[in-house]
A and B are shown apart, each in its own frame.
Chain A
């Protein structure tokens, strides 16, 4: 009975306006589709080919995974800027293990996951139980990961492990999306394994955030720590777990990145943390915590990489255009967020 009452009370509220999460998510998805359609209209047929879209996915599978982890930390009200460093460290360690030690691919995957978990747990402990600012902790984490990468091995090199090469070159054919190339041959559309991993991550995390106790705990802690504490949520444990999950995903993302590039280098994934944060913000995750959506993050990554593609195919090849466009896009979304925040604050004050 009480549930019904709750619904009755809740129903008119939802009709008044969209929640912040939904509004931001809608903006992101609309912007993405508008951009893609614009690209098709003004940049010619290149963008019409399904493979162009799939290539964006192929190149950004690792970013999707890493950005998902970032979103979870951001929803909980923290931030983790060590993810780029962890990705570089994972790919270097796996490369050294596979190439110099002639190791097994499955052990390499295990190494990747363990490195990610270790970073996540240490940072989570420092943030949650010692109450240190997440920015500083993960800043140190980033320093440490980048430094360790060069200590493990200085020179960049390609991996020649047979087992790994097989895995790297595995292509999964997407039925029905192939196209006819210039020679009149039918070419199958394909995705790499990483994309499948990324999609699984997105789905699992989406379900977790929406329907599990832990997932709701993330929102509660990010929204208001005090009231979450009073609701009986273990705030420290929740924060710890959010960082642990982010670290784990950075490890997985690191291996996916490694599968895509097939080499180890200290300069890998430079600036990836900033791209991950930017995608999360574009996807409607609020930095103040409590608001966000994994689907939005997914579209955020796609928007970011589509804009990069548009810029480079528009002939604005000079390197600076990419930076400037991404930054202006980020700026736009941040301002939109802050306006939305101000609006919802006013609403609650009126009530």
Chain B
């Protein structure tokens, strides 16, 4: 008796773990980590090197994941809110990043393409970019919330026009900033060997966690996503919540825009942040959040972003061409969505039950 009780207890715990939302990203992370450990343990090697200026920097695949995964994590924060509130995704983030980056360069450089000194403090340029991205987010938000256009289609407009607008802002020139301070945001601050992007992400995560903890944003967003009309009847303003989620995504986009231009000290309108919208959506999906809106788990999304970057870096390590990368990612995506589809889950649990029943029957016999 006792043993069987224990078993059911263990089973219940196991079931709880499997059903927990963090299970999918953590399991994916573990599978990738073990795969790398077996294939080549040098994946985890971190070396302390020195940059050209003599500053200590840590380098290694793990650092790359931390560095580039951070951009995705910041985007995933905004994308999770948009997904939860509107039940759709914003596919214009890549293009809006180009706009934000272009605005930053425009403010810093003025009309010169290679200024000796910065025309404005970096913080001013960043704030201008934040305002501009929030405006573009608001544009998407108005179309989605007030004109009731499907999010993917409403954002299709900026997806087509965004990079063109970005090129237009700088008159299609490619300004280069020589000030080394500007490179800190996407690189390393002298004396600190950990990529700055990681700290930026930590700040963003802390802010969003505080907001979710101390305001009703999270609750309202989920209730609008779950049932729009009933949340309206309960006195919420669904249109405004949706609008707000797009504006918040705009802020996230501006932060990533700053990181992106800081990495290169310049911008390439057609290439910067290309396909990043797909990765951001993927991060949300990998976090186990329903892409049709409703409940969300911010931690799972952020973890999902790092898992995506883990996968990308692993593929790069195995000398997969950057152009062929999408094919492998697609297989992972399909495997994930098929596994998480309700129909497949039902079917799996049924067959699992049948199997265990069969075993029990045998035992009895």
- Residues of chain A whose beta carbon lies under 8 Å from any beta carbon of chain B: 79, 126, 129-133, 135-137, 139-144, 146-148, 150-151, 154, 266, 271, 274, 277-278, 281, 287-288, 318-324, 326-328, 330-331, 334-335, 337-339, 341-342
Contacts and interface: CB of A to CB of B under 8 A. Distances in A.
Given A126-B334, A137-B334, A137-B337, A146 B168 contact: no
Contacts of A130: 338, 341, 343-344
Given A126-B338, A139-B333, A328-B161, 13 more contacts: A129-B343, A136-B333, A136-B337, A144-B327, A150-B327, A318-B172, A319-B167, A320-B163, A320-B165, A323-B160, A323-B165, A334-B147, A335-B147
A147 to B, nearest CB: 2
A338 B147 contact: yes
Contact of A327 (B161, B292, B338): B161
23 contacts: A133-B292, A137-B334, A139-B281, A140-B337, A142-B330, A143-B278, A143-B329, A144-B330, A144-B331, A146-B326, A147-B328, A147-B330, A274-B160, A287-B150, A287-B153, A320-B167, A320-B172, A321-B164, A331-B143, A334-B143, A334-B149, A337-B149, A338-B149
Given A151-B324, A287-B149, A334-B149, A320 B143 contact: no
Contacts, number: 137
Contacts of B281: 136, 139
A135 B156 contact: no
Interface of B: 89, 143, 147-150, 152-154, 156-161, 163-165, 167-168, 172, 278, 281, 285, 291-292, 321, 323-331, 333-334, 337-338, 341-344
B333 A147 contact: no
B327 A341 contact: no
A146 B343 CA distance: 29
Ranked 5 nearest A-B pairs via Cβ: A147-B327, A323-B164, A327-B161, A320-B164, A144-B330
A126 B164 CA distance: 35
A274 B156 CA distance: 8
Contacts of B152: 79, 135
B323 A154 contact: yes
A306 B326 CA distance: 33
Contacts of B323: 146-147, 150, 154, 266
A324 B334 contact: no
Contacts of A146: 323, 326-327
Contact of A147 (B156, B324, B334): B324
Contacts of A337: 149
B337 A324 contact: no
Contact of A141 (B160, B325, B330, B341): B330
A68 B319 CA distance: 39
B168 to A, nearest CB: 5
B256 to A, nearest CB: 20
Contacts of B148: 338, 341-342
A141 B330 CA distance: 7
A324 B165 CA distance: 7
